[in-house]
Structure 1
């Protein structure tokens, strides 16, 4: 079946084929969530903060991605649906407010907001989803309910039990696609991939915000302007690495699959792989903010690892994304990840701007080399049209 036939079939089923402005409005809360998580790391950079960010973003991402699956099936085309989506949006906003103190004083608020988000998601999906997804939503709602209960329970305890309960909640979410059959969900590839692409753009935008945040109260000097240019270039490299080819390729690969076979690769590529990619963006944004703050000085190991390690995680996420969807040269992103994380010692042993400059050159070099190989093999995208044959 061709892509056009898939689109006609999805439209006939009443599916949502393009992202709506309400969904873009919904994404504004996600900007705040990413900002809060970035600040949570920069406040006390290190492995403990990294673990907290992974746990918090893990449970948040599962449900945020769940709302993308929801609106892929349940278009916000009525007042009742829009109202409940706004209630869910309110839950995500409260959740984001609780992020900075989630492992200290606001754990209960975090848990209660998470329960609200789950209830709205399951209720909307069950009451408005098509007949093919109802049974699957019931099983999904049970798994999500267990996870939400663990998050809420974790909010009432302190210390290592909270870490344990939230880790168990994340484990339940990771295992859920293997406990239920995701083929029961209808995946409308155009809308589904566009929504995930927009979320990645929103997250990369946080790295731009980090540049401005790092400049607060500083004198604007030629050296500082040069470092800003490097930071913006790195943000562009992240954008191009995914949107130059992989975003479009991913949609084509998912759309080419029969409807009942899209569920599993959709979970693996746009759930698990994008999760690693997004954690990479959060760490990179934190690293940029801390690096700009140090400028012509060396940086602590936590800051250096956040910057280079964040880009490396981004490439690891892309490796998994390519691997799941059968896209070309997934191994190349793994090599790029190793090369980028190896630049971290430069910031510790030398200066922050030196690490940033070398990181930009290394990361962009691997992306460009990959593109050159692809173009020679006939690859093209909306940004790089196919070469004309003489």
Structure 2
């Protein structure tokens, strides 16, 4: 491709900022991935099992978020970009399908697809942009993933150290990204090179969170359908549905369409967009954990509550509140006192929840989330209350 044609691949300031249908189609692969991850966690609720699930989620999230950024940088109406989006979707499906045995007999499929997505996409856009200054952005990314690919490949070849090597690989991938892919002989990308369109990226984050909540609805609906419609399970199901609804409402409270504007108006848009991308890993992980906890509460509403059930049910909400509070702070630049109070209240309730039936953990999560919604409602009404006339 000549230098004159290269900019056609890049998204222009005049291009539509809304997500394309192909990006929404790509999210379908992530629904499947989240379903596989929740099954993976459900099969092993130990600390080690949760760590392995989070490791797989972090790798899958890296694929999704780098794809979202690619669609932000490159014109999704261009044939080259469309082809790479479809190819990445196929790679994501391969990773999702291999999740149950990712640390076993399908390790090569999971790690191989992960590396193929990142390296292949980077090489492809490097070729499309050759002769254009932005080519170095793609080349640095390719070289960085080539470096971090070493522990990924080593993990395939050394099963005994697979978890440790892959944890190192994921850590390095995220670290290199946050450091803007520093390469000794090529420098690192500037924040100007990493400039994004905030409106588009904010919309993509919102869409993927709704997709994650869709997986939560599928999980609790399936558990209720399979377990029976007795009173206890019906109550647990209603609480779980309310939980999903409150997560959606609370997620949008600190935004109200402002995240995209804040990113665009930031002195360093790329840095803020990157920070919120990392925080969304916690938010998506919270929904996966919540789905497992809600499903167990519906299936066993009368059983004594094991610590592991409280850990995923309440822990999911705790993780959500941590991600939500930090995101709210990045947007508003002031402490989100309602969210911090809700987080403290939920942590205080944990000892009591260990002595109550599993649905109580969902009810406690619903209560603190409702408290945030009520606080927002009251403060909004007070702010809009007209001043009394003299």
Distance 1:203 1:235, change over 3 A: same
List aligned pairs for 1:252-263, cutoff 5 A.
252-258=261-267, 261-263=268-270
The 8 Å contact of residues 23 and 85 in structure 2, kept in 1 or not, is answered as no
CA contact (8 A) 1:70 1:125 kept: no
How has the CA–CA distance of structure 1 residues 22 and 336 changed in structure 2, closer, same or farther, with 3 Å as cutoff?
same
Which among 202, 206, 224 is matched to residue 197 of structure 1? 206
Mapped partners of 2:101, 2:287: distance in 1: 21
Aligned residue for 1:312?
318
Match of 1:291 in 2: 297
SS of residue in 2 equivalent to 1:138: helix
1:93 aligns with: 93
Match of 1:338 in 2: 344
SS of residue matched to 1:215: helix
Q: 1:339 to 1:327 in 2, by over 3 A?
A: same
In 2 relative to 1, CA 42–137 (structure 1 residues): closer, same or farther, beyond 3 Å?
same
Cα pair distance change 1:341/1:109, threshold 3 Å: farther
8 Å CA contact retained: 2:34, 2:215: yes
305-314 or 10-19, which deviates more: 10-19
Partner residue in 2 for 1:6? none
Task: Check if 1:368 corresponds to 2:374.
Answer: yes
Kept in 2: contact 1:114–1:151 (CA 8 A): no
* Ranges in structure 2 where 5+ consecutive residues have no aligned partner: 1-9, 183-187
Deviation digits for residues 31-77 of structure 1 (CA, Å, limit 9, x no counterpart): 01111111111111121111112211112212210000000111221
- Equivalent-residue separation in structure 2 for 1:192 and 1:320 (angstroms): 18
How many aligned residue pairs are there?
Answer: 369
Distance 2:121 2:191 in 1: 16
Q: Deviation of residue 389 (structure 1)?
A: 7.8
Greater shift in the superposed pair: 97-106 or 364-373? 364-373
Residues 298-357 of structure 1: per-residue CA shift (max 9 Å, x gap): 222111110101011011011221233344433542332232244444443120122222
Structure 1 match to 2:7: none
- Residue 365 of structure 2 is matched in structure 1 by 359
Within 1, Cα distance between the matches of 2:32 and 2:18? Answer: 24
Name the structure 2 match of 1:108.
108
Q: CA deviation at 1:377?
A: 4.2
Aligned: 1:268 with 2:269 = no
Shift of 1:229: 1.2
- Contact (CA 8 Å) 2:239, 2:362: kept in 1 or not? yes
Note if contact 2:289-2:315 (Cα within 8 Å) is conserved in structure 1. Answer: yes
Match of 2:224 in 1: 215
**Larger radius of gyration between Structure 1 and Structure 2:** 2
The C-alpha deviation readout for 1:267-323, integer Å capped at 9, x for no partner, is 112x21111111111111111111111112222211111010101101101122123
- 1:142 corresponds in structure 2 to 143
Q: Secondary structure at the match of 2:158?
A: coil
Of stretches 337-346 and 276-285 in structure 1, the one that deviates more from structure 2 is: 337-346
Alignment CA distance shift 1:151-1:67 (3 Å): same
Q: What is the CA distance between 1:252 and its match in structure 2?
A: 2.1
1:120 aligned counterpart, secondary structure: helix
CA distance in 2, matches of 1:100, 1:24: 25
Q: Which residue does the alignment assign to 2:234? A: 225
**2:252 counterpart residue number:** 243
Residue deviations 1:239-287 (CA, integer Å, cap 9, x gap): 01111342522122112225xx201111112x21111111111111111
Question: 1:39 maps to what in 2?
Answer: 39
Please say if residues 115 and 145 of structure 2, whose CA atoms lie closer than 8 Å, have aligned partners that are also in contact. no
The match for 1:279 is 285
2:157 corresponds to 1:156: yes
Counterpart residue number, 2:195 = 186
User: Structure 1: which 4+ aligned runs deviate by more than 6 Å?
Assistant: 387-390
- State the 1:15 CA deviation: 4.2
Distance in 2 of aligned mates of 1:362 and 1:17: 35
- Once residues 64 and 366 of structure 2 are traced to their aligned partners in structure 1, the CA distance between those partners, rounded to angstroms, is 30
Distance in 1, matches of 2:287 and 2:306, equals 19
Deviations 1:125-167 (A, max 9, x none): 43446945322222222222323342232122223x2122111
Query: Residues 207 and 235 of structure 1 are in contact (CA less than 8 Å); yes or no, is this contact kept in structure 2?
Result: yes
Compared CA separation, residues 36 and 341, structure 1 to 2 (3 A): farther
